[in-house]
Chain A
Amino acid sequence: MNYASIFKGRWLALFRDITSLFIILLAVIVSVWIEKGSMPDETAMFVAVVNEDTGELGEHLADVLLSENGFDLRLTDRDEAVKMIASNKAHGMIVIRPDFTEKVRAGAYEKLVETTIMADSYDMNTLGELVINDTVKIWMEELIGRKLGAVSGIDEADLQAFRENAVEVLHGGSLLDVNANLVADRSDTDEEQTFSGLRWYAAFALFYLMISGTWMCAYGSGGLLKRVRSKGGNVVKLFVFQSLPGMLITYMGLLPVLLVSGHPKPVQVLAAFLLYIAASSAMSLLVCALAGSFSNLVFLAPVVTMAASLVSGMLCKLPDWARVWDYVSVIFPGHWFYAAILQEDHVAGALVATVFWFLAGMSGSLLLGNRKK
């Protein structure tokens, strides 16, 4: 068998297959984007404020809410607010209930405000906190003011002075503050050194190797292996030469991501990625042989990529409570590539994983092939 022409044929086929090639292009773009600074900040979310209270405290709360930063809060009526929520223009609605003033003056606090928050928008968690805090401020000011007003000798001028002081207090600092301190795990590096873009690219590379591997589906069908053997060919060599073009393409895709990442040891990463894609190709062989056709592969490839990448910590750093997955993931090539990125020992483990997946891929496809003979 002419393995050089097999290599050349596969290489040309991959470059002609624009649909799968676009995956690796997309992977490079997304990974560079992640590496350069992740997702952009969100735009200020529009939230409708409806004041159904006719009393002065409802108006006061509406003013306080409208002066808040972080959300784009706008005063409107209920019908308009519902319309805006329905048409996806508003991400939430805050309704100051009709009995707001009455309840606050009576010292009640239950169901003073109604919040409707659209969960199909990101990061709306803090809106509820904002509404509660602003309402508490109004409530405290009113109740303490009323208690003060009940003291004999206190006149309207004193109450006005209290209100002015209250504005200063509520807009100023607090007596109680909390400082957040990041405690770095002894074994951890900080966020800048986790190289998210490199990790995500490696996960995309695994997906690309699988989804562009329809030719590997034939390894599990039996016919191909039979023909190769009958012509005196070597199945292992055939797989190596057929998989090389895909590996080369993913390897080339790594270069811009690595360049942007500014990793201190790029040569080490390049060498580790070589082992990673070798093991990933062998893993893809097993998955493709099991899938048998592209119609099955299109389901299996995303799920297997997601599982292997999540367990290896490629998509997000494994939390400490998930330490068990850290041990389980030693069989996945991603575990060792991640170690290489963090400049930890990885070569022996990566070699073992590569050999394991190579043996699993070859024996799996041979077994499936024999079964379907």
Chain B
Amino acid sequence: MSFFSLLFYDIKRLLGHGKTALIAILLPLPVVFLFAVFLLPMLSAGKGVVVSCALCNEDTNETLTKLLDLVINSEVEQGTAIVYPVKDVESGKRLVEEGRVAAFLHIPENTYQDSMNGRQVVLDYYYSPAHAFEALTFYTAVKSSLSVFGQGIRLVYVAGGLAMEHGLTQEDVLTLWREGTDDIIRIHMHRGKIIGSGGVFLPGADYHLRFAIALLFTVCAYFAAFPVMYLTSVDLTEILGKRSMGTGRLLGGFFARVLSGALLILCTFLILYPAARAIREVPFAFALSVLPAVFLIALTFSAFALFLGSLFQRGEGALWAGLYAGIVFFACVILPERIEGLPKAVSSVLHFSPVRACVSIFSNAMFKMIPERYEQDLLILATAFVVFLAAGLAAYMKRGRAL
């Protein structure tokens, strides 16, 4: 039997193995659904963190009103905020309590005038525990940008004071003050452009979302390798146990399984890409740029699955090992940043895990390509693939010959 016939039969066996392969391919659907229903609204509504915010502006100053309109329109256009004006503090707090908005910002009377006259003004920001994630993320941005805005106004005052000391007319000082304030407003209205993004608050900050999408891709791809683990173990015990095979056939069977396993994992990616596109509008060109990595990931996970499947006599044993190996691999993604004082050797090993490289490719290269990082991640995956392939081949041949 030629290698291609062997490959064809193996694909038929793997994909046609009852419900298992079908479940593996369709598994991303409920997971994506749960992600979209529960996590996505907390993380983003497209490009960044989205916050529904009630606003009570008790300051009737015309300049402030215009300024607020500019900020609100900009944020609404960017899709980072939905703003609901309210009449009084009680209404705003009630909306927060009832969970109808994530946050409520209260601007007291004379805010503009007081800050322009050098007096400190404190705004109140209310949020509920249920919306703590997005509300506090937004709060950090509002607080820091308003704080810098206030510092700018103070700088204008310092300059105005010095100018007055040198006998500048009140009219000229006012001109200096107006021009300086205009500059401060101008840069704050476009502060995102400083780093090449849009918006006023948290421009381009959707790293949580990118990380979550990458984890979703990786978990589903990893789970898609489980039928390979199970069937390899079962085949070596049940089928090869009944009839002996030559080295050539064993080798052919091994490589056919690696390729058919990779194909099964690739099927999962076919379902995942439309989901990612719907969630975060991942451009098709970006997805194409990670295509070589996608093939390598599929091959690496398939080779790893074959390695585990060849190690265990029982299919269940291989699946348990896969489950625990998955826990360790995903801990490698999350723990290095979380645990201080890890020995350097341990930290390095954790950083070079194939699952971490996979998450890195999906969260970085698919959104912003840094060729050097991409190459490094590919190298990690390629190394892991060679190691798993060699270890898997050795274990497979050992068991195949012993039978």
Please tell me if the beta carbons of A148 and B176 are within 8 angstroms of each other in the complex. Answer: yes
Please tell me if the beta carbons of A321 and B136 are within 8 angstroms of each other in the complex. Answer: no
* A173 contacts the other chain (CB 8 A): yes
| B19 surroundings in chain A (CB, below 8 A) | 292, 296
State how many residues of chain A have any CB contact under 8 Å with chain B: 105
One of A117-125, A224-232, A247-255, A335-343 at the interface: A117-125
| A112 surroundings in chain B (CB, below 8 A) | 194-195
B residues 353-402 in Cβ contact with A at 8 Å = 356, 359-360, 363-364, 367-368, 370, 372-373, 375-376
Contact of B211 among A122, A152, A182 (CB under 8 A): A122
Bound: A22/B328 CA distance, A: 14
How would residues 204 to 223 of chain B score, 1 for a CB under 8 Å from any chain A CB and 0 otherwise?
11011011001000000001
Bound: A315/B317 CA distance, A: 28
* A85 contacts the other chain (CB 8 A): yes
Contact of A115 among B115, B195, B376 (CB under 8 A): B195
Closest to B115 in A: A175
| A191 surroundings in chain B (CB, below 8 A) | 129
* A2 contacts the other chain (CB 8 A): no
One of A133-141, A197-205, A266-274 at the interface: A133-141
Known: A214-B316, A299-B23. A85 touches B122 (CB 8 A): no
* B4 contacts the other chain (CB 8 A): no
One of A48-56, A153-161, A281-289 at the interface: A153-161
| A26 surroundings in chain B (CB, below 8 A) | 327
Helix, strand, loop or mixed for chain B's interface?
Answer: helix
* B144 contacts the other chain (CB 8 A): yes
How would residues 178 to 211 of chain A score, 1 for a CB under 8 Å from any chain B CB and 0 otherwise?
1111111110101100000000000000000001
Please tell me if the beta carbons of A119 and B214 are within 8 angstroms of each other in the complex. Answer: yes
Please tell me if the beta carbons of A178 and B370 are within 8 angstroms of each other in the complex. Answer: no
* B78 CB to nearest A CB, Å: 14
Known: A175-B118, A177-B123, A317-B130. A120 touches B333 (CB 8 A): yes
* A215 CB to nearest B CB, Å: 12
Known: A129-B140, A178-B142, A184-B128. A111 touches B196 (CB 8 A): yes
Please tell me if the beta carbons of A154 and B150 are within 8 angstroms of each other in the complex. Answer: no
* B16 CB to nearest A CB, Å: 14
Bound: A183/B100 CA distance, A: 13
Please tell me if the beta carbons of A151 and B168 are within 8 angstroms of each other in the complex. Answer: yes
| A162 surroundings in chain B (CB, below 8 A) | 158-159, 162
* A216 contacts the other chain (CB 8 A): no
Bound: A165/B157 CA distance, A: 11
Contact of A295 among B105, B226, B324 (CB under 8 A): B226
* B337 contacts the other chain (CB 8 A): yes
| A126 surroundings in chain B (CB, below 8 A) | 140
Please tell me if the beta carbons of A176 and B121 are within 8 angstroms of each other in the complex. Answer: yes
Closest to A107 in B: B183
Bound: A266/B360 CA distance, A: 44
Bound: A40/B328 CA distance, A: 18
B residues 317-338 in Cβ contact with A at 8 Å = 317, 319-320, 322-324, 327, 333-334, 337-338
Which residue, B18, B195, B210, has most C-beta atoms of chain A within 10 A? B195
Bound: A342/B255 CA distance, A: 55
Interface band, chain B: 35 or more
Please tell me if the beta carbons of A176 and B147 are within 8 angstroms of each other in the complex. Answer: yes
* A306 CB to nearest B CB, Å: 6
Closest to B136 in A: A180
Contact of A110 among B115, B194, B333, B359 (CB under 8 A): B194
Please tell me if the beta carbons of B190 and A169 are within 8 angstroms of each other in the complex. Answer: no
Please tell me if the beta carbons of B42 and A319 are within 8 angstroms of each other in the complex. Answer: yes
* A86 contacts the other chain (CB 8 A): yes
Closest to B96 in A: A183
Which residue, B186, B187, B367, has most C-beta atoms of chain A within 10 A? B187
How would residues 139 to 179 of chain B score, 1 for a CB under 8 Å from any chain A CB and 0 otherwise?
11111111111111111101100110011100010001001
* B119 contacts the other chain (CB 8 A): yes
Closest to B374 in A: A86
Known: A122-B338, A132-B194. A86 touches B370 (CB 8 A): yes
Please tell me if the beta carbons of A183 and B122 are within 8 angstroms of each other in the complex. Answer: no
Contact of A88 among B115, B334, B351 (CB under 8 A): B351
| B99 surroundings in chain A (CB, below 8 A) | 185, 319-321, 323
Known: A88-B360, A137-B148. A317 touches B122 (CB 8 A): no
Known: A140-B187, A298-B226, A319-B130. A120 touches B23 (CB 8 A): no
| B154 surroundings in chain A (CB, below 8 A) | 169, 174-175
* A321 CB to nearest B CB, Å: 7
Please tell me if the beta carbons of A295 and B152 are within 8 angstroms of each other in the complex. Answer: no
Closest to B114 in A: A175
* B180 contacts the other chain (CB 8 A): yes
Please tell me if the beta carbons of A294 and B191 are within 8 angstroms of each other in the complex. Answer: no
| A152 surroundings in chain B (CB, below 8 A) | 166
* B340 contacts the other chain (CB 8 A): yes
* A76 contacts the other chain (CB 8 A): no
* B221 CB to nearest A CB, Å: 13
Known: A176-B123, A179-B124. A145 touches B226 (CB 8 A): no
Please tell me if the beta carbons of A124 and B207 are within 8 angstroms of each other in the complex. Answer: yes
Can you name 9 extra interface pairs (CB under 8 A) apart from A43-B337, A169-B151?
A19-B320, A88-B356, A118-B363, A165-B155, A175-B150, A296-B23, A303-B30, A321-B99, A322-B38
What are the 5 tightest A-B residue pairs by CB atom distance, in nearest-first order?
A320-B99, A176-B150, A174-B150, A175-B150, A86-B372
